[in-house]
Structure 1
């Protein structure tokens, strides 16, 4: 079998012959003294050389494409010039290797900006960061709470201090700090997120595979955040993460109706928290308030929620009772340095699962920064 170099030489030789014959044919065609037999002979020669040229070119192009593909494969991710495309391809290869129970190469980790991994079973920080951002399923607290990804995080509950110990005007805050201390230490609460990956998706384009898996994981993470923050009966070990947990003991403010309870809850906050307060509540409850207040007046239905309640309103169906407060004191932290990945299979459906095990914590840094609004219980 000829080499690519030999095919290139043959292609050049036949190409030159073809070019020469085409030139002679052009001259004969305009020469009145040339016979038709000479012209037809040149035409036949041209057709033969053209056929030979096409055959050699097809062989040349096929072999060249194969060699380029082999070269790119040997170079791996180094052959990808576009940095964004390289990250997508690296993520896709990571997912495919995990699903096939194959080791993940150091090259993949390096492409994802994680040189220190050493080929272990840790999820690269690039992937972990992407998973905890921009979910399809929304945790509405992401708009107002604090989010970080720092291992062994410890932070002060209040961002500033004064040399005078009596600088805290809110007596509830002062009492809370004295009881619980002035530093929040974030723990590591384990949870798993499953992304179902069908054979079709796994064999599809890198872009579709990465998009499918990341969207599933991002949505699962957001759903977990929302679930623990609004849990009425939190799991053992997760009690401190819920606004409704008796362990947190967030003060409840009652009113004859929900509108009155929310307004009282806002007023009950110390001004340091009231200034930046947000109301998190169900849209259904807000609609009931508007219907009661409107009493046939259509103008209220077009008013912004902030105009009605006096504070920014964020809707979440998980907020069974409205929560009023400064949500900068609601803090989610992820320990992405120890995020693991693995594979599993749903025996019922046969769908493969790309599984991420992560650790996170939700700390309500100051309970006194929040109130829960409830309707007065009837005896």
Structure 2
């Protein structure tokens, strides 16, 4: 995959207003006012909702514009959870949504915004998710969403949100999973406060960091990459790699969290666009390993990323030189080997598992089924155009990760 200054590209992107800085959560009331809203409902999970080091700054930053707090999101990203939040949103007479926490809370907040704007009942919405794996996004009436991430997964500048449904929590006939995807779902604002990120337990932060890190890696070899996303991902990867190794060594201080927060901001800038996302092979493998197994997404990324890159570089160029530059590989080293080793070292520095056999994932006899799910994942469409993976290829990656 070579580059030429003559290569054409089109970059259509309408991102959130981004604010960054220690204690930037203190300006949340100003962000809400700038959106023309009087009141906001905070959407978060129970752990973050019970963490004063996060919620006190958020409450203080919103002041009189805080309409209420819904602290009920879960990693399952249930449609039923979004409906519970909808009841509180209406009861509190809120006008916008503040999503605080990790990817799950941000996704539930996005689905909540769709429910606020829809005129369909819950049964009809659930039936659509079961049938189509997605939800229709109304053309108008979506309330603004402001994201306040406390992890490094990189879900805060996205027009895509995952969603699941279960008959025990929502009026659906059978379990369902899918995603909503629409340019209108891009948050109106995103507040990156490294002080809040620093409150997240190291174990949680380490896993989320691998997810965000791999967003930068994949953006550089995606078929719809652009020079703009190249620039942001390259800079972001350098910041993340440095910060992640310091975090893993137990030497993190304020500047470490500033590097990590800036890094995750940059690697995801421009990767979720109307023409599609830049996520591909590694994220598709992550989905295949986590959708039906008890493997955390960041852990899955830590395990498979080096092996996925080894396979990639055997098949295509994969922009190995640019990846080597972004990751600070020494000049003269074989770029493919050096990139794989560097990614493995970054993952290993966080103390995350490095073998599939050591986590609650699929057995080797299940690898063909996982491989089929990976190949059917929508993200595979974003892989380098020269890459033509087969089921046997993906099984080979999984075997190498075993």
Q: Same fold (TM over 0.5)?
A: no
* TM-score normalized by the length of structure 1: 0.21
Question: For the pair shown, which has the larger CA radius of gyration, 1 or 2?
Answer: 1
* TM-score normalized by the length of structure 2: 0.20
RCO higher in 1 or 2 (8 Å CA, sep ≥ 6)? Answer: 1
Q: Which structure is higher in strand share?
A: 1
